[in-house]
Amino acid sequence: MITIRALGNIGTTLGKDSFIFGDDSVELIVLLRKIFNNERKNEDFSEILSELIIAINGVAVSTKINESILKSGDKVTLIPISHGG
């Protein structure tokens, strides 16, 4: 089970602030495409990603989004770039 939290306006945009996926292992980019209903791989996804800080188990990831593999028990947090201080 992989848990996703969407903070601030991301949760508002998506209609809920948490998601649970039963997958034992999944690529981060695949999971993000599912959440944002953008499963077409040829479509430009960089605009959405440029508005996010993504943390896996409390550690921000930036350049390794396409390489990150999530496993059961991981917690992903989606943080809007403009999130306050």
In a domain, 49, yes or no: yes
User: How many domains in the chain?
Assistant: 1
Q: Residue 46: its pLDDT value, please? A: 77
Q: Of 61, 74, 59, 58, give the one whose Cα is nearest residue 19.
A: 74
Range of the domain at 50: 2-80
pLDDT reported for residue 4: 95
CB atoms within 10 A of CB 81: 9
Output the pLDDT for position 42: 57
Residue 51 has a pLDDT of 84
Q: What pTM value is reported for the model?
A: 0.85
Instruction: Kindly give the parts of the chain with pLDDT less than 50.
Output: none
Amino acid identity of residue 85, one-letter, is: G
Residue 40 to residues 17, 29, 31, 84: CA-CA distances in angstroms? 23, 12, 13, 32
CATH code of 17's domain: 3.10.20.30
Q: What is the predicted pLDDT for the residue at 65? A: 79
Q: Which amino acid is at 3?
A: T
Q: State the pLDDT at residue 40.
A: 62
